[in-house]
Amino acid sequence: MDSKSTTTKPIPITAMVFIGWLFLMTFLPFLIILGMSFLERTPVGTLSFHFNLNNYIRSFQYIYLKVLFKTVWIALIATLSCLAVGFPVAYHLARSKGWMKQLGLVLLFIPFWTNFILRIYGLVSLLGNHGLINQVLLHFGIIKTPIEILYTRTGVYIGLLYNYLPFLVVPIFSSLEKLDPLLREAGFDLGANRIQVFWRIVIPNIKEGVFIGSLFVFIPMLGEYVIPDLLGGAKEAFLGNVMVNQFFVMQDWPFGSAIAGLLSVLLLITLWLQTRWSRTPGLKMEGLDA
């Protein structure tokens, strides 16, 4: 389509809906948050329209940087754990045939028919000292004292792994699906063994799917706040908890907005690095259509 035809053709309705939605639900709220981050909180908790950069300066205090690095670190470990579990799942799903594959995909997503908070409470009742897992292990004498999982960082990791896994499996699965089986056969014909075929043919062809899947879980984990509260016992804050507290407890909306702004910048940098790194420009969305 050349530039001339775009100026004369009316914008299609679908595009208007799309652009309107993006404007109302993404762009406008972001602008409000951005604008608010330059304001000030009055002693009684209202907004004062005195523009300044203090909130951003404040967010570079040691305490907030510490929370930021901890959040990134935990999200990173949890993403790697998701990969460790999710990759074999995706690999096996992609290679299975017929009803097995359909059933596998359905089973992967069935938990998501239940509300997120309910699933977290489900984990609470499983993982506690008097929870199902510990009680079964105690009953059969496998352990003598309950294993502390709930309200520890391990509990947080389990919650993250459980809730985000499918978002990583699907992009990897769909890039494996698209991998032409003839490529593997050609590799074998040319004398490569299974490991060589995997590392030199499969991995290079699906690495973008792996990367995108990892981003799909890593990015929302950075903003997580329910899991650290309910499974971590509200003892260790993620950046999301600090943000939510600024809005709902401390009533410091400008500072909360500044943290939200910085988090958005962090996400944009991650996405920008991803586009730089991948061979084709733009975020490849092939994982999304599954």
Partner 1 sequence: MGLKRIVVLVIVLGLVTTSLIYLRARKTSPPKLRVSTWSNYFPDSIIRDFTQKTGIKVELSYISSNEELFAKLKAGATGFDIVQPSDYMIRQMKALSMLSKLDLSLLPHLNHLDEYYRNLPYDPGNEVSVPFNWGTSGIAINTARVKIPAQGVSWSLLLNSSFPRQTSLLDDMREVFAGVLFLNNLSPNTAELKSLEAAKKQIFHIKDKVLLFTSEPKPLLLKEEIVIAHIYSSDAVQAHAQNPNIQFFIPKEGGIIWTDNFAIPSSSQHKLEAHAFINYFLNPDNALATVRQSHLATPNKTVKSMLSIEEKNDPNIYPPPEIFKKLFFLEDLGDTLPSLNQMWTELKS
> Under the rule (CB under 8 A), what is the footprint of partner 1?
10, 12-13, 16, 43-46, 63, 66-67, 70, 128-130, 148, 150-151, 233-237, 241-242, 245, 247-252
Q: Measured between alpha carbons, how far is residue 166 from residues 80, 85, 173, 205 in Å?
A: 14, 10, 10, 21
Q: In the complex with partner 1, which residue's Cβ is closer, 30 or 188?
A: 30
Q: In the complex with partner 1, which residue's Cβ is closer, 130 or 200?
A: 130
Shortest CB 11 distance to partner 1, Å:
9
Calculate the CA dihedral of residues 85, 90, 92, 96 and round it to 10 degrees. 150
Other beta carbons within 10 angstroms of residue 209's beta carbon come to 24
Q: In the complex with partner 1, which residue's Cβ is closer, 129 or 264?
A: 129
Q: In the complex with partner 1, which residue's Cβ is closer, 70 or 92?
A: 70
Shortest CB 129 distance to partner 1, Å:
6
The region, left, alpha or beta by phi > 0 then psi within -120 to 50, assigned to residue 247 is alpha
Cα–Cα nearest to 156, from 243, 240, 245: 240
Shortest CB 165 distance to partner 1, Å:
25
Shortest CB 257 distance to partner 1, Å:
13
Q: In the complex with partner 1, which residue's Cβ is closer, 148 or 185?
A: 148
Shortest CB 256 distance to partner 1, Å:
11
Shortest CB 276 distance to partner 1, Å:
32
Q: Which amino acid is at 288?
A: L
Shortest CB 225 distance to partner 1, Å:
12
What does residue 167 show for φ and ψ, rounded to 5 degrees?
-70, -20
Q: In the complex with partner 1, which residue's Cβ is closer, 190 or 249?
A: 249
Other beta carbons within 10 angstroms of residue 13's beta carbon come to 8
Q: Where are the alpha helices (DSSP H) in the chain?
A: 3-8, 13-22, 28-36, 54-58, 62-95, 98-109, 116-127, 132-139, 153-178, 181-189, 194-197, 203-222, 226-230, 239-248, 253-277
Q: In the complex with partner 1, which residue's Cβ is closer, 116 or 277?
A: 116
Place of tokens 């290079």: 204
CA contacts within 13 A on the Cβ side of 39 = 17
